[in-house]
Amino acid sequence: MLRSSIHPHDLPLFSEDLDLLSQVLDKVCVERGLVRTAPEAERIGAVIIQLYRQGVRDGGKLADLAKTYL
């Protein structure tokens, strides 16, 4: 029997997921005084996505954790 291991980072992000991630990124950018096109904002976005894929689903917690990474 073939076993396929599906990792959370392999699963697609749906529009609801992207809406939440976008809101969190906007919040962090506003608090940091960044425009979304800034390189630091892109890094924050990548961290937020990584945390989300690791199972952090609460917007407030995502924002707090993203800020600690930077």
pLDDT one-digit tens code per residue, 35-52:
999 999 999 999 999 999
Residue 34 burial by CB count (10 A; 0-12/13-18/19+): exposed, middle or buried? Answer: middle
The string of pLDDT tens digits covering residues 4-47 is 566 666 678 999 999 999 999 999 999 999 999 999 999 999 99
| pTM score | 0.83
* Spatial separation of the C-alpha atoms in residues 36 and 43, rounded to whole Å: 10
